[in-house]
Amino acid sequence: MTWHCKQTLTLRARYSCSAMTSPSPPHESSGNGLDPLDFRTPVTLLTGWLGAGKTTLLNRILSAPGGVKYAVLVNEFGEIGVDHRLVISSNETIVELSNGCVCCAVRGDLVKTLKRLKSRRALGLLPARNFDRVLLETTGVAEPAPLLRTFLVEENIASRYRVDAVVCMVDALHLDRALSGNSAAHDQIALADLLLVNKADLVNEEQLTDCKTTVSRINPASTISHCIHAEVDLQEVLASRPMRPLEHLEINQPGSGHAGLHSVALTSDIPLDPLRAELWFNSVASSHSGELVRWKGFLNLEGHPEQAVLQGTYELFNVAAGEPWGDRTPRTELVFIGRDLNKESLARGLQASEIKP
C-alpha cells in the first residue's frame, strides 16, 4: 500500500534495529576548540522547518552502528503526540515534551527534563545503561535562539550539558515557502553549524544550486551539504563544534514565533475506507495548499492489519505501511499544522472517510 500526491514526494524510509547507536564517540577533542577535559554531556540539536526531514535523520543516527547510547527528546507542535512514534523504539529513554515549542511555552519543561535525566542517570534509574549524548529534535516552528540560550544561561543546565552542534535540515523543494513570512525558519538556518539541504532528488540542479546559495547568504559560516532521504555522513553530523558566543543568539526575543501557525488534531476509532481516505487527502492537498504547512499521523485502514503512516508537506503527501498495531487499539490520529485551518471542514472529511455500518 503506497499512495502519493503529484508523484514528486519520494517515500520516507523506515528502519528497525535492536539498539540505538551511532558511530560517534561521546566526547571528541580533535582541535575544534572544545576543552578535551570537558565531560559535560554533549547535546546535538536537530532543527529545521516542518517536514524537512528531522525525524528521518534522527532515525538514521539511532540505527547506525557504534555503541553510543542516547537520551532522545522529541518535542511536538500539536495536541496529539506523533513524531515520537515515528522514532525507532528500543530500550532508550525517549521523552516527549508537552504541547508547544521547547523554546516557547515549554521551555521550563525542557530544563526540568534535562535535570531529571541527569539525576536518573546518576541514580541508575534509566531503563538502559547510561546515555552518552542527548539528541534533541525540536518542533519545526521552534525558534532556536532561546533554546540555545537555555544551555548557556541556565546554571544547572550549562554545568551539566554542552551543545556540540546545531544541525538544520532544509527542504530543498519548499525552502522559499518556508522562508516566506516565517522568522523561525530563517533563524533556524542562521544559527545552524551544519545545514543539510534534504530532498535534493525533488529539484533540478539549478534549483539545488539556488537553494544552497540562499542558505549560504543567510548563514555563510555554516557547512552546507545536500542529501536525499537524510542520507548523510553521520560523523559530520555528530562532530563537536564550539558553542556560539552569547551575543550571536540575539536574533529574536523569546516569543511565539509561529507566524500564525496553529494545529488541528483529529482522531477516529472507526476504520477508514482506503479509497475514500485517499480521495479526502487529495482534496485536502488541493483545497488547503496555501494554508497547510505540515500534516502527519497514523491511519487505521479497513483491511490492513498494520498502521498506515501519513506524511505531508504543503500539497505533497504519502501514505505507507507502518508497524503492526500490536497491543495498541487501532485508531486514526492526525495532526494538521498551518494557517487559518478549518477544523470543522477537516473533521467532516475524516468522518466521510469512515466505514459506514
Does the structural domain 41-78+91-238 have CATH classification 3.40.50.1000?
no
Residue 130 in grid coordinates? 547510561
Quote the distance between the C-alpha of residue 244 and its chain's center.
22
Domain spans of the chain, in order of start: 41-78+91-238, 260-353
Q: Residue 251: what pLDDT?
A: 38
DSSP at 88: P
Residue 24 in grid coordinates? 560517534
β-strand pairing of 292-299 with 306-313: antiparallel
150 closest CA partner among 94, 104, 194, 99: 104
**What kind and span of H or E run contains 55?**
helix 54-62
Residue 7 CB neighbours (<10 A): 7
Positive or negative, the Cα torsion across 199, 202, 208, 212?
Answer: negative
Residues in the chain: 357
CATH class for the region spanning 260-353: alpha beta
Residues in Cβ contact with 108 at an 8 Å cutoff, skipping those fewer than 6 apart: none
Residues 134 and 38: their CA atoms lie apart, in Å, by 15
- Per-residue confidence of the chain (357 residues) as pLDDT tens digits? 555 443 222 222 222 222 223 333 333 333 333 445 567 889 999 999 999 999 899 888 888 877 777 888 887 777 677 667 776 655 556 666 555 555 444 555 788 888 887 887 777 766 555 678 889 998 888 888 788 888 877 888 888 898 888 999 999 999 999 998 788 999 899 888 899 999 999 999 999 999 999 999 998 888 999 999 999 999 989 987 655 554 455 433 444 555 667 778 999 999 999 999 999 999 998 887 567 888 889 999 999 999 999 988 878 888 888 889 988 899 999 988 888 889 999 999 999 999 988
β-strand pairing of 316-324 with 2-4: antiparallel
Specify the 3-state DSSP secondary structure of 151: helix
Residue 32 in grid coordinates? 575544534
Residues 319 and 4: their CA atoms lie apart, in Å, by 7
Residue 352 CB neighbours (<10 A): 15
Q: Residue 98: what pLDDT?
A: 57
Under a CB-based contact definition with an 8 Å cutoff, are residues 171 and 198 in contact? yes
